[in-house]
Amino acid sequence: MASEEKKYTPEFKKEVAQKALDRNKKNLDKLSDKYEVPVSVILMWTTEYEKGGEDVFVDPEEEEQRPVKDHEEVDVEIADKDVAKSVEHGVMFDDLNIKRLVFWSVFGVILVAIFVKALFEMYQYNAQSIQERVSADSEYYQVNQLKRDAEDQLNSFGVVDLENGVYRIPIDSAINEIAAEKE
């Protein structure tokens, strides 16, 4: 068997790899014996040939010696004028629909304005209802306070006018005294 250090020509590598592929990478031992190349090297060449195609085994020295092909110019006729103009400029022509753009912009601004106005109205409504509740609670508190003060005055002893000798007595006591006088 030959050593792996041995140099093989690109044509030889291509031929061995092609035969290995024709056999579906099976029975590579016979192929190895026939060409005196290790099975691992044949598998490596086969994989390279599958991935890289025909030009994978070209020697760098040969590649430098090969003439470089110039790019061929190809004339292509395009029926669609817009596409032809786009290809000529290298970009796709973009025609803005100004009417649609203006419509959706105005529509969006109006929607945002309506939304902001609705938020403002909701704020004012809530502020007003809270103020009414607070004021109702405040009136209720004031009325209750006045009732308690009046009840305290009706049910307690106190001085109304000290110089004239006017005093206040609880209403229950005053009613009892008036009733006792009439009896």
Residue 30 sits in which domain range? Answer: 10-65
Question: Average pLDDT, stretch 135-164?
Answer: 87
Q: 170 in a domain, yes or no?
A: no
Q: 176 in a domain, yes or no?
A: no
- At 2 the pLDDT is 46
Q: 117 in a domain, yes or no?
A: no
What's at 89, amino acid-wise? H
Q: Please give the C-alpha separations between residue 47 and each of 7, 18, 21, in angstroms, as whole numbers.
A: 18, 11, 9
The token pair at 149 is: 């003060």
Asked if residue 55 has pLDDT above 80, the reply is no
Under 8 Å CB-to-CB from 14, ≥6 apart: which residues?
49, 54, 57
pLDDT 10s digits, 3-44: 445 778 888 888 888 888 887 767 788 888 888 888 888 888
Q: 135 in a domain, yes or no?
A: no
Q: 162 in a domain, yes or no?
A: no
Q: 36 in a domain, yes or no?
A: yes
> How many domains does the chain divide into?
1
- At 108 the pLDDT is 97
Q: 14 in a domain, yes or no?
A: yes
Q: 61 in a domain, yes or no?
A: yes
Q: Please give the C-alpha separations between residue 56 and each of 14, 29, 73, 82, in angstroms, as whole numbers.
A: 9, 24, 27, 42
